[in-house]
A = this chain, B = another copy of it.
Amino acid sequence: MKAYEAVLAHIEQQILSGKLVVGSVLTPERDLAQQLGVSRTAVREALRTLQAQGLITSQVGAGPNSGTRIADAHSPALGKLLQMHVALSQFPIDDVVDARIMLERRNVELAAAHASLEDLAKLGIVLASMEDPQIGLDQFNRLDTAFHVGIAELGGNQLVIVLTTAVRQALAGPIKQASMKLTDYATFRADLIRQHRGVFEAVASREPARAADLIEEHIRHAYSILPMPR
Contact = CB atoms under 8 A, between A and B. Distances in A.
Contacts of A49: 48-49, 52-53
Contacts of A17: 173
A161 to B, nearest CB: 9
A217 B87 CA distance: 35
A75 to B, nearest CB: 7
B52 A53 contact: yes
Interface in A88-129: 88-92, 95-96, 98-99, 102-103, 106
B12 A80 contact: yes
A81 B78 contact: yes
A230 interface: no
Contacts of A78: 81-82, 85
Interface in A42-81: 45, 48-49, 52-55, 70-71, 73-75, 77-78, 80-81
